[in-house]
Amino acid sequence: MSEMYHCKEGNSPLLVSMPHVGLEIPDGLKTDMTDVALSLEDTDWYVDRLYDFLEDMDVSVISAKYSRYVVDLNRGTDGKSLYPGQKVTELCPTTTFSGAPLYKDRKSPDEEMRVGTYWQPYHAKIQGELIRLKEKHGFARLWDAHSIRSHVPELFDGRLPDLNLGTGNGISASHVLTEKLDRIIQSSDYTTALNGRFKGGYITRHYGDPENNIDAVQLEISQVTYMDEAPDNAFRQDKADRLRPILKSLIETMMVE
């Protein structure tokens, strides 16, 4: 484990990334943050627990230690919008998804410090793992695991589909692989979308390079499928047990060329 992230190295071609599961905020930042910020309401709650079956699979897993409110590991440092014309979150967020301020007196975060301290180590590890896995197998795969509340009016209208597969509109993964994954989720009882409101963030689009045998896919899961959403934020084992076989099938498909 790095001081900045958690990582398990496997020997299969697959790396699973969980950039928004972090729950820590450094003490030096807490004093400037609001009570709303410290509630971490926009966390990808329990995604690591939902994917607990990865412990028994020979895959690499990297997950965030620090909250997305410290720095969003799924945003680029160039400030380029992932969804032009739509509301998106910042590299160093200053508000919650619902627009509540994260900082007292609207203080601006030190973006340069946070990128160097928290963002760069995570991405250096992703890059290094993909290189290692490709050298070992001749190809590498990246699965970016996310979740979000089923209703976030500030980001999308209505209720989000349950399973949202994203490949950057087809640029980050081969069409053959994408079709295999899409068939799995389409055959489930869950509502689904392919390259809908969530097409894949910076991680998927930056590292996915199917022409050079690196495929990257994001799955955004509606949290109502495995937990009681806010204000309870309680993990639901019954719901998770129903969803996990679909997730495991997707992961197994990612592991095979």
Nearest to 13, CA basis, from 180, 135, 172, 170: 135
Asked if pLDDT for residue 85 goes beyond 70, the answer is no
Asked if pLDDT for residue 109 goes beyond 90, the answer is yes
Mean pLDDT of 142-148: 98
The pTM for the full model equals 0.96
| CA 119 to chain centroid | 14
Is residue 73 a contact partner of residue 19, using CB atoms and an 8 Å limit? Answer: yes
Model confidence at 80, pLDDT cuts 50, 70, 90, reads confident
Asked if pLDDT for residue 218 goes beyond 90, the answer is yes
Asked if pLDDT for residue 23 goes beyond 80, the answer is yes
CATH of residue 140? 3.40.630.40
Q: What percent of the chain has pLDDT over 70?
A: 98
| The pLDDT of residue 108 | 87
Domain count, the chain: 1
The token pair at 102 is 């994260």
Mean pLDDT of 173-184: 98
| Domain housing 102 | 5-254
| The pLDDT of residue 82 | 79
Q: Is 247 exposed, middle or buried (0-12, 13-18, 19+ CB in 10 A)?
A: buried
